[in-house]
Chains A and B, each alone.
Chain A
Amino acid sequence: MRHTLREAWSGLRRNLTMTLAVIITMWVSLTLFGGGLLGAQQVELLKGRWYDKIEISVFLCVPESKGANCEPGQNATDAQRQAIRAALETNPEVATVYYESKAEVWEDFQRVYQNSPVLADMTADMMQDNFRVKLKNPEQYEGVVSAVAGLPGVQAVQDLRQYLNPLFEWLNVAKWTTIGLSLLLLLAAALQIATTIRMAAFSRRRELGIMRLVGASNWYIMLPFLLESLVAALIGALLACASLAALQKFLIIDRAQPSLKSVEWIGWPQVGLAMLGVIAVGVVLSVVPTLIATRKYLRV
């Protein structure tokens, strides 16, 4: 054991510049990777939050509206309203149905836009009666939309998801770009570790040859190298964890949260999860290249 620790330590010191290079590469790439993990969790959080609030709005025909299911110049009839309500309430995916009359919409509108010049150009007649539908599972909206979209008296069915989906798609692209870039950097870090260990093993090839000759076990021969790369990788991983913590503290808690209070932000549990991922990847990325790099010197 003493031998193992001593050899690992002397290996780290002998290749100080390479060790520093490994630590820095690991640090940067794992920070980026952890950032990707945080971003992914933030997106999931927003998605869950917003999608839960999403309702489907079924707009009914008014005299001004044009649509395949509308009689020109006519309101939707009471019979049509009854049929639409029945279709919605019997649908198994629907949780609640709420009818909002033209007058109610107008009140709402006036309240929301009370300081806006838009209000002056609008009248109560421009509003539309509609059903607001809440779904049991917000992901399963297509069935409900198609069930009522074709009914007479329905002018349009609007799903807020249409507007949110492009946003989430862009967030997804950003997430995968970050993770993809970090994977490239992590690959570079792994190759760097393999090179460092190969050099260390090469410089000690005489000793390794004798060790094999006199019957030292593979484990005994390999352990110092494993420890050497593990120490470098773990230092890099811890620095990355510190960077993620700083990101959470200074960017999200101090800046983002006070300025965007309506949005739910990731907290320390999510950061902890990302840190675990970072450490696990750091360990794998040091152990695997070391095993591969020392294989040549262990082959019996």
Chain B
Amino acid sequence: MITFEDVTKVYEGQRRAALANVTVTIDKGEFVFLVGSSGSGKSTFMRLILREYRVTQGRIFVAGKDLTKLHGWKVPGLRRQIGTVFQDFRLLPGKTVTENVAFALQVIGKPQATIKRVVPETLELVGLQDKGNRQTEELSGGEQQRVAIARAFVNRPAILLADEPTGNLDPTTSIGIMKLLDQINRTGTTVVMATHDSTIVDQMRKRVLELVDGEIVRDQSKGVYGY
């Protein structure tokens, strides 16, 4: 599903590589933790999958597309196959939960009938079926993150990227979010999650990729956060 072939990324005006000679394959339906300290290259890894940047060297394949050869105008098509969740939720203020989730479908031109059917289904999946008409600001952090996950998943993407999704949440709420991500993963969605949360990684026992200074130093199935 995601393949990095000897990928190096050097940001403009910087000498040090943000990612250096990374080669890794993530299969369809896998759940992968990306761990490492701040600045180790986790975010760069995610952003390269989204084609927010081009690689400096090497090749990346996502969902069968060679991103190094992908035209700019085809990037929206790629992103429709990838759902993304962030630490800071990135919901639209002044809109209800339903509107926030529906927005993701409206802007890619889905018909209203589809939206009316799919949005409540997805809200039920994330456990917010009763809160569709609430403003997102009224919700707790955990609930807001569920809205963000619903928005990322409403189009049934093949890949879900989660960048520190539990970074702003307390441990109990985090467990709920992880259960939700695990549930989504069981539907066949590939999940890549960058995190600092050792408890979660140690509990879940999924594949772990550890980045240090832009290089992959550990690739461990059913791994833990650190030795």
Q: Which A residues have a C-beta under 8 Å from some C-beta of B?
A: 3, 206-207, 209-218, 220-221, 300
B51 & A300 in contact (Cβ 8 Å cutoff): yes
**A152–B80 alpha-carbon span in the complex (Å):** 91
Minimum CB–CB distance for B79 against chain A, Å: 4
A274 to B146, CA, bound (A): 59
Q: Nearest CB to that of B151 among chain A residues?
A: A214
Give chain A residues whose Cβ lies under 8 Å from the Cβ of B76.
Answer: 212, 215-218, 300
Q: Report yes or no: A214 in contact with B108, Cβ–Cβ below 8 A.
A: yes
Tell me whether B64 is interfacial, beta carbon within 8 Å.
no
Say which one of B14-22, B99-107, B209-217 lies at the interface with A.
B99-107
Given contacts A300-B51, A300-B72, contact A214 B109 (CB under 8 A): no
Query: In the assembly, what is the distance between CA of A220 and CA of B80, in Å?
Result: 14
Q: Which chain A residue lies CB-closest to B107?
A: A216
Given contacts A213-B84, A214-B104, A220-B107, contact A300 B92 (CB under 8 A): no
Taking a contact as CB atoms under 8 Å apart, the answer to whether B80 and A215 are in contact is yes
Expressed in whole angstroms, the Cα–Cα distance for A3 and B115 within the complex equals 14
Q: Which chain B residue lies CB-closest to A213?
A: B84
Contacts of B106 in A (CB 8 A): 3
Instruction: Tell me if B90 counts as interface (CB < 8 A to partner A).
Output: yes
Q: How large is the interface on B (under 10, 10 to 19, 20 to 34, 35 or more residues)?
A: 20 to 34
Judge whether B75 is part of the interface by a CB distance below 8 angstroms. Answer: yes
Q: Which residues from B are CB-within-8-Å of A207?
A: 92, 103
Most chain A beta carbons < 10 A, residue from B72, B73, B107: B107
CB distance from B165 to the nearest CB of A (A): 15
Q: Say yes or no: B73 contacts A214, CB within 8 Å.
A: no
Count, A-B residue pairs, CB within 8 A:
54
| Contact yes or no, A212 B79, CB < 8 A | yes
* B contact residues around A213 at 8 Å (CB): 50, 79, 84, 90
- Min CB–CB distance A30 → chain B (angstroms): 34
Tell me whether B27 is interfacial, beta carbon within 8 Å: no
Q: Using Cβ atoms and an 8 Å threshold, which residues of chain A touch B202?
A: none
Contacts of A206 in B (CB 8 A): 90, 92-93
Q: Does B66 contact A (CB under 8 A)?
A: no
For B95, the closest partner residue in chain A by CB is A207
* B3 CB within 8 Å of chain A: no
Question: Bound complex: CA of A218 vs CA of B78, how far in Å?
Answer: 13
Additional pairs, 14, CB under 8 Å, beyond known A213-B79, A214-B80 = A3-B107, A206-B92, A207-B103, A210-B92, A210-B104, A210-B107, A211-B107, A214-B108, A214-B151, A214-B155, A215-B79, A215-B108, A216-B108, A217-B76
Q: How far is the CB of A282 from chain B (nearest CB, A)?
A: 28
B77 contacts the other chain (CB 8 A):
yes
Q: Tell whether B52 is near chain A: CB-to-CB under 8 Å.
A: yes
Q: Which residue of B lies closest to A298 (CB)?
A: B72
Q: Which residue of the partner chain A has the closest CB to B103? A: A210
Identify which of residues 97-133 in chain B touch chain A, using a CB-to-CB cut-off of 8 Å.
103-104, 106-109
B29 to chain A, nearest CB (A): 22
Top 8 A-B pairs, shortest CB-CB distance: A215-B79, A215-B80, A216-B107, A215-B76, A214-B104, A300-B75, A211-B107, A217-B76
